[in-house]
């Protein structure tokens, strides 16, 4: 059964109303993904995304659910989406959305995919609310500026570092940078889920200590659509995020074109060590 999360105390009435809309978008996407699970056409390439990448039928259905829910809710938020790119709808805020983060996983029935929803203006630092819905478990992560971060209503906090016991999440494969493969060989425990927003949530809830996404080709790195929601949730949970060179990424515009490498941490000491080349 698909269930809706509940907003906790501590957020303003306006933020609570926005969260409820975002929750309903997450539910709508999860429903269409589950309904399409048995379709032989879910992996059919039906279009090209704003960046020119193939758009599978499953992506198209998920994105359509986002826009249909926005219309039904009567909100005028502009949208920056993984598939459609920038869509002006007359609002003064922007919903930065990846309808399915981890599409390859979803198409293969691997349980690591989400819908990622960040609401704000201008850049990553301007994201006020983030919601990440795990499409397989039905778990909802959310954070609102100044009000904390939560998983299904329970407060989230990152984990203090435990020397020699870190769990590091990485993007791996033939496009991974030498820095990523070096970290894979040096870290004690390594995991690779193939879903950036979910991996950021693993750091936010203390299941992992750090996450590095760093491809050898900068054009293969992450966009705001991948990390906008996770950025806000992770910061509210006590963590931080930079690029792979240790520089802030908060100024990344809320668009579908610019890309960045990412290093996320739960304990600030890990972020400082990584920036000076001393982690792990």
- Cis upstream peptide for 280 (omega within 30°): yes
| Residue-wise pLDDT tens digits, 87-135 | 999 999 999 999 999 999 999 999 999 999 999 999 999 999 999 999 9
Q: What's the CATH code of the domain at 180?
A: 3.40.190.80
Which residue do the tokens 């930079």 mark? Answer: 242
Say what the pLDDT of residue 43 is: 67
- For the chain, report the end-to-end CA distance as a whole number of angstroms: 41
The residue ranking higher by pLDDT, 123 or 58, is 123
Split at pLDDT 50, 70, 90, the class of 193 is very high
Q: Could you tell me which residues come within 8 angstroms of residue 262 by beta carbon, excluding any fewer than 6 positions away?
A: 196, 211, 212, 213, 214, 221, 222, 227, 241, 242, 243, 244, 249
pTM for the full model? 0.93
Whether 136 and 239 share a structural domain: no
Q: Could you tell me which residues come within 8 angstroms of residue 129 by beta carbon, excluding any fewer than 6 positions away?
A: 15, 18, 19, 22, 118, 119, 120, 142, 143, 144, 145, 232
Ranking 29-43, 55-69, 131-145, 204-218 by mean pLDDT, the lowest is 29-43
| Residue-wise pLDDT tens digits, 206-220 | 999 999 999 999 999
Whether 29 and 144 share a structural domain: yes
Average pLDDT of the chain? 92
Shortest CA distance to 117 belongs to which of 262, 265, 254, 251?
254
User: Which residues are bridge partners to 212 per DSSP?
Assistant: 170, 263
Whether 181 and 139 share a structural domain: no
Say what the pLDDT of residue 49 is: 59
- pLDDT average, residue stretch 29-47: 76
Domain containing residue 87: 13-155
Is residue 230 scored above 70 in pLDDT? yes
Ranking 9-13, 72-76, 254-258 by mean pLDDT, the lowest is 9-13
Whether 28 and 150 share a structural domain: yes
Is there a domain that residue 2 lies in?
A: no
Is residue 55 scored above 80 in pLDDT? no
Q: Could you tell me which residues come within 8 angstroms of residue 124 by beta carbon, excluding any fewer than 6 positions away?
A: 224, 227, 228, 231, 249, 250, 251, 252, 254
Say what the pLDDT of residue 163 is: 82
Whether 121 and 220 share a structural domain: no
């Amino acid at each position: 059964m698909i269930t809706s999360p509940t907003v906790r105390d501590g957020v303003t009435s306006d933020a609570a109303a926005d969260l409820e809309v975002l929750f309903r978008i997450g539910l709508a996407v999860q429903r269409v993904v589950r309904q399409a699970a048995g379709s032989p056409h879910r992996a059919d390439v039906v279009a090209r995304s704003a960046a020119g990448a193939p758009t599978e039928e499953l992506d198209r259905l998920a994105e359509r659910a986002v826009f249909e829910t926005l219309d039904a809710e009567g909100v005028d938020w502009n949208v920056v989406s993984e598939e459609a790119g920038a869509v002006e709808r007359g609002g003064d805020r922007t919903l930065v959305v990846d309808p399915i983060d981890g599409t390859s996983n979803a198409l293969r029935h691997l349980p690591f995919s989400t819908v990622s929803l960040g609401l704000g203006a201008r850049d990553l630092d301007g994201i006020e609310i983030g919601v990440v819905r795990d499409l397989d478990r039905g778990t909802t992560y959310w954070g609102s500026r100044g009000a904390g971060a939560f998983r299904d209503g329970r407060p989230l906090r990152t984990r203090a570092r435990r020397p020699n016991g870190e769990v590091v999440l990485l993007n791996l494969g033939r496009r991974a940078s030498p820095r990523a493969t070096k970290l894979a060989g040096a870290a004690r425990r390594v995991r690779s889920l193939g879903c950036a927003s979910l991996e950021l949530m693993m750091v936010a809830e203390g299941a992992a200590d750090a996450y590095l996404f760093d491809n050898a080709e900068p054009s293969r790195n992450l966009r705001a659509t991948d990390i906008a929601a996770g950025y806000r949730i992770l910061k509210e949970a006590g963590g931080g995020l930079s690029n792979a060179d240790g520089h802030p990424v908060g100024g990344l515009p809320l668009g579908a074109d610019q890309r960045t490498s990412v290093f996320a941490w739960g304990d600030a000491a890990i972020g400082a060590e990584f920036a000076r080349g001393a982690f792990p």
